[in-house]
Amino acid sequence: MPTHYRGSDNEQLALQVFITLSRASESYQHAALERAPLPDGLTLSQFGVLEALLHLGPLPQTEVCGKLLKSKGNISVVVRHLETRGLVRRTAIEGDRRQRQLDLTDSGRELISAYFPNLARGFADAVGVLTPDEQRTLVSLCKKLGRGVQQTS
């Protein structure tokens, strides 16, 4: 659906890019998660934390916020739920009482390690409408956009 805003051509095109990119991202995510539904009771934000810890190892909670583009308050709630379920543990970082290090428990590692290959297949299947060259071009353009807007902020 195109924008109904009647601004300049540049503004209308920018809004069309935003709408198209947002809808494509939502559709892509939805299609992948339909193929590989999240494990029972796990939210997308909780999955994001588990995935970051699986692939990057133990991290300070503030670094997880940055990786997932979530606020400190949001991640605190997400982590509290994961901790209650026994999937992650928080430990104090020596020398900084305000910081907490996050790490997977054995249960958390087992859950995310078993699930992640299914999700990777779900995303691969969903993006199959694009050729590998189109996928690489899309990655390149998204990185260019993301880095470009960070530099101008």
pLDDT at 4: 74
Per the domain annotation, does 21 fall within a domain? no
Per the domain annotation, does 10 fall within a domain? no
Per the domain annotation, does 80 fall within a domain? yes
pLDDT beneath 70: ranges in the chain: 1-3, 153
- Name the domain count of the chain: 1
Per the domain annotation, does 31 fall within a domain? no
Q: Which domain holds residue 59?
A: 36-152
Per the domain annotation, does 14 fall within a domain? no
Per the domain annotation, does 15 fall within a domain? no
The kind and range of the H/E element at 107 are helix 106-126
In 3D, which of 100, 104, 95, 89 has the Cα closest to residue 61? 100
The neighbouring-strand residues paired with 92 are 100
CB 97 within 8 A of CB 107: no
pLDDT at 46: 95
CB 54 within 8 A of CB 112: yes
pLDDT at 40: 85
pLDDT at 41: 86
